[in-house]
Amino acid sequence: MPKNGTEQEIIYQGIPASPGIAIAPVHVIARGFSAPEVYEIPEGEVEREKERFRDALDLTKRQLIELQSRLEDLSGDKESGIFEAHVMILEDRSVVDRVQNAIARRLQNAEYAFYAVMQNFLEAMRRIPDPYLRERTADIEDVAQRVLRNFSTEGDSRPQGPEDQHVLVAYDLAPSDTASMNRRHVLGFATEQGSVNSHTAILARAFGIPAVVGLDGAVIDIIALTPSILDGYTGKLILYPSEDTLERYRNLTLAKEKVRNSLDAMRGAATETVDGRPLTVSANIELADELAPVKHSGAKGIGLYRTEFLLLNGEEMPDEKHQAEVYSKVAREMAPHTVIIRTLDAGGDKLPVEPLTDLEPNPFLGWRGIRVSLARPAMFREQIRAILRASALGKVAVMFPMISGLSEVLRSKEMVHRCMDELEKEGIAFDRDLPIGIMIEVPAAAICADLLAPEVDFFSIGTNDLIQYTVAADRVNPHVAELYRPTHPAVIRLIKRTIDAATDNGIWTGICGEMAGDIRLTPLLLGLGVEELSVGPQQVPRVGQAIRSLSHAECAAMADEALRNPRSQGILDLSMSLARKHYANLLD
């Protein structure tokens, strides 16, 4: 393993984003270009690696001089000056010395030592207030990429990079990065950026990946392959852990494993309270290949199938036939349970359905959710037809996101009925009684829930957006993160208003946001009258056991008190008191 000189424990304190413990070497990725493979070298190979580094620099320099010469012939000296600046970067003595020192100190291959030095340099430049200097990072990235391409890939050492189990340390990760992680190799991750309410953190919790965010300076300071412990419960990343620390965390892991084993024994058991109130626990999924963990979890169906990853993960959207095949596979495998398919929820902080000519000044209040689908009827029609075709092969429901008023519900239902008529004429089977639901995530929808309920078969409250729209605080903005409070009195009252409107109109209400998987809040949600909780597959057993431990009558009395409480913390304390009383062992 790499050495830090003293090998004393180094503790980085971040923000816990997803619970769990990961014990493994660190793999570091930074902004800009991709990291090369990293592997250890014996001390006797240091000079050879330094020579490989010098050879790569010399080859890059010759290439740049040749490019400069060609450009001079074509357009004159002015434009060719950029390559002269690139050559100067290669000749910077401080960079060369730092790389050679890093090879000897880290005992790692030359290309990774070069990458690490350049990324540290780039990160420092990105944090300089001067915009001109910040813009020069693109030139440095270009030169560094050229050097990396010019390293020889031959060698006898076996790479120990991302193919081995590791803790990933990054400046930031996109939700798609998290969704596509090879979870056999990535045991946990830590980022400099992000918040506990970001989609990346939400996906980490759904997949059961320990995660920590807000580790300032981690990318610059941490050396790849350093032994580490990632503590997703307290938000710590511990480098060079001592034997005592390792033993403590191994014991903690065993204790958590015992709780998981006890939960495993209850998988598939009915989720009803001690006084007989049933409540469905279903799962949220992003991809069809998540069905194995869903079925293993004991979930009673899919409460939220997010279709963005299917629709927006390639250069073009899949056609109706391909969508129908994927939806049908999910419906068949989850039978006899229901699969609720949410139509495209693009925009805002998610991938756009198409490039916008003008940057939206506030995308969260702009073109997203059902607004995109209604504005692109051909695309919307393909998705609805695909969902209907899948409904012939299993229990399927459709759900529309970002509803803000009755007209959007009626226009969406009109599209469903039009597609039904088309399929009927074409002789294609589908379920004429396909349940139609809407997401309640905009305060306007919650306030007029009594007007929307007669038009649909169910409500699903998307608490993530409902909270941020209600308190006007972006959940991923650290400056206002303190204002993003799930137990804000206004949020709790909107949830109660929605549930009451549904009950009065004979339809059910579920929750598919982060609140659903937070067992500190299960007593509150149960007491407010929620009938379904849809959570990440990893959270299903824990939420199910929490429900089985509670009394609905006791929760309802507490919820009444919570609705009269004027403070967020007061409401949280009321719910937590019941959680601690009935299942303290489940709380992280």
Active site residues: 199, 512
Positive or negative, the Cα torsion across 325, 327, 328, 334?
positive
CA 443 from centroid of its chain's CA atoms:
24
**Residue 313 DSSP code:** S
**Residue 158 DSSP code:** P
Cα(345)–Cα(368) distance, integer angstroms? 7
Q: Cis ω on the peptide bond leading into residue 523 (within 30° of 0)?
A: no
**Residue 535, beta-bridge partner list:** 283
Task: Please give the biggest Cα pair distance in the chain.
Answer: 86
Positive or negative, the Cα torsion across 333, 335, 337, 341?
positive
Strand arrangement, sheet containing 166-170: 10-13, 236-239, 227-231, 21-29, 166-170, 186-191, 211-213, 15-18
Q: Is 7 left (phi over 0), alpha (psi -120 to 50) or beta?
A: left
What residues contact residue 239 under an 8 Å CB cut-off, 6+ apart? Answer: 4, 9, 10, 11, 12, 26, 222, 226, 227, 228
Q: Which of 323, 327, 329 is nearest to 305 (CA)?
A: 327
What residues contact residue 57 under an 8 Å CB cut-off, 6+ apart? Answer: 90, 96, 147
Q: Which of 572, 573, 533, 517 is nearest to 18 (CA)?
A: 517
Residue pair 412/344 in contact (Cβ under 8 Å)? The answer is no
Continuous segment of H or E residues that includes residue 280: strand 280-285
**Residue 25, beta-bridge partner list:** 227
H helices of 37-153, in order, are 46-75, 77-90, 93-106, 110-126, 131-135, 137-149
Helix-then-strand count for the chain, H and E: 24, 16
Q: Is 465 annotated as a binding residue?
A: yes
Residue pair 234/253 in contact (Cβ under 8 Å)? The answer is no
Q: Is 182 annotated as a binding residue?
A: no
Residue pair 468/513 in contact (Cβ under 8 Å)? The answer is no
Residue pair 535/517 in contact (Cβ under 8 Å)? The answer is yes
Q: Is 72 annotated as a binding residue?
A: no
Residue pair 283/271 in contact (Cβ under 8 Å)? The answer is no
Q: Is 342 annotated as a binding residue?
A: yes
Question: From the annotation, which residues make up the binding site?
Answer: 306, 342, 441, 464-465, 475
Question: From the annotation, which residues make up the binding site for phosphoenolpyruvate?
Answer: 306, 342, 464-465, 475
Question: From the annotation, which residues make up the binding site for Mg(2+)?
Answer: 441, 465
